[in-house]
Amino acid sequence: MLEDWLAPKAAALESRGLTRRLRPRPADEVLIDLAGNDYLGLARDPRVVEAAVAAVREWGTGSTASRLVTGTTELHAELESELAAYTGHEAGLVFSSGYLANLGIITALGGPGTLLVSDEHVHASIVDACRLARSRVEVVPHSDLDSIGKVLAERKEPHAIVLVESVYSVLGDAAPLEALAALALKHNALLLVDEAHGLGVTGNGRGSVAAADLAGLDHVLVTMTLSKAMASQGGAVLGPTILRDHLINRARPFIFDTALNPAACAAALAALRILQGEPARPRRIHETAARLAEACEVMPSSGAVVSVPMPGPREAVAAAEVCLAAGVRVGVFRPPSVPDGISRLRLTARADLSTADVDRACAIISSAIR
Ligand SMILES: Cc1ncc(COP(=O)(O)O)c(C=O)c1O
Residues 25-36: pLDDT tens digits?
A: 999 989 999 999
20 inside domain:
no
- For residue 6, the model assigns a pLDDT of 97
**Percent of the chain whose predicted confidence (pLDDT) is above 70:** 100
Domain holding 308: CATH number? Answer: 3.90.1150.10
Say if residue 81's pLDDT is above 90: yes
16 inside domain:
no
Of the residues 233, 258, 276, the one at which a domain ends: 276
Q: What is the pLDDT of the chain when averaged over all its residues?
A: 96
Residues 134-145: pLDDT tens digits?
A: 999 999 999 999
Of ligand 1's listed atoms, the one at least distance from the Cα of 102 is 4
pLDDT class for 114, splitting at 50, 70, 90?
A: very high
Report how far ligand 1's centroid is from the alpha carbon of 292 (Å). 23
Mean pLDDT of 264-271: 98
Say if residue 300's pLDDT is above 90: no
Of ligand 1's listed atoms, the one at least distance from the Cα of 227 is 10
Domain limits for position 297: 26-43+279-368
Residues 211-248: pLDDT tens digits?
A: 999 999 999 999 999 999 999 999 999 999 999 999 99
> Quick one: 292 and 332 in the same domain?
yes
Report how far ligand 1's centroid is from the alpha carbon of 315 (Å). 26
Of the residues 247, 276, 305, the one at which a domain ends: 276
d(CA 167, CA 3): 41
21 inside domain:
no
318 inside domain:
yes
- For residue 188, the model assigns a pLDDT of 98
CA angle 129, 228, 33 (to 5 degrees): 130
Supply the angle between the helices 241-250 and 98-109 in degrees, to the nearest 10. Answer: 90
- For residue 243, the model assigns a pLDDT of 98
> Quick one: 36 and 152 in the same domain?
no
C-alpha distances (whole Å) from 114 to each of 14, 119, 123, 147, 345 are 40, 16, 20, 18, 37
268 inside domain:
yes
In this structure, the residues whose C-beta lies within 6 A of any atom of ligand 1 are: 97-99, 102, 123, 125, 165, 169, 194, 196, 225, 227, 235
| Residues 6+ away with beta carbon under 8 Å from 144 | none
Closest CA to 212 of 345, 29, 158, 204: 204
Of ligand 1's listed atoms, the one at least distance from the Cα of 233 is 10
> Quick one: 148 and 258 in the same domain?
yes
Of ligand 1's listed atoms, the one at least distance from the Cα of 100 is 11
> Quick one: 171 and 312 in the same domain?
no
> Quick one: 267 and 287 in the same domain?
no
**Identity at 262, one-letter amino acid code:** P
Which residue has the CA at smallest separation from atom 7 of ligand 1?
A: 98
14 inside domain:
no
342 inside domain:
yes
The DSSP annotation for 173-187 comes to PBP-HHHHHHHHHHT
Say if residue 370's pLDDT is above 90: no
**Identity at 42, one-letter amino acid code:** L
Report how far ligand 1's centroid is from the alpha carbon of 105 (Å). 14
Report how far ligand 1's centroid is from the alpha carbon of 170 (Å). 11
Of the residues 242, 276, 310, the one at which a domain ends: 276
| Residues 6+ away with beta carbon under 8 Å from 328 | 31, 32, 34, 360, 361, 364, 365
> Quick one: 241 and 115 in the same domain?
yes
Domain holding 226: CATH number? Answer: 3.40.640.10
d(CA 101, CA 88): 18
122 inside domain:
yes
Closest CA to 59 of 279, 260, 214: 260
Closest CA to 285 of 223, 222, 199: 199
- For residue 340, the model assigns a pLDDT of 83
Say if residue 175's pLDDT is above 90: yes
Say if residue 256's pLDDT is above 90: yes
Report how far ligand 1's centroid is from the alpha carbon of 129 (Å). 13
Of ligand 1's listed atoms, the one at least distance from the Cα of 226 is 10
> Quick one: 249 and 297 in the same domain?
no
Torsion angles phi and psi, residue 289, rounded to 5: -60, -40
Q: Give the pTM.
A: 0.96
C-alpha distances (whole Å) from 366 to each of 295, 324, 343 are 6, 13, 17
> Quick one: 244 and 111 in the same domain?
yes
Residues 311-346: pLDDT tens digits?
A: 999 999 999 999 999 999 999 999 888 888 899 999
d(CA 291, CA 293): 6
> Prior bond to 336 cis, omega within 30?
yes
Say if residue 170's pLDDT is above 90: no
> Quick one: 172 and 149 in the same domain?
yes
> Quick one: 66 and 199 in the same domain?
yes
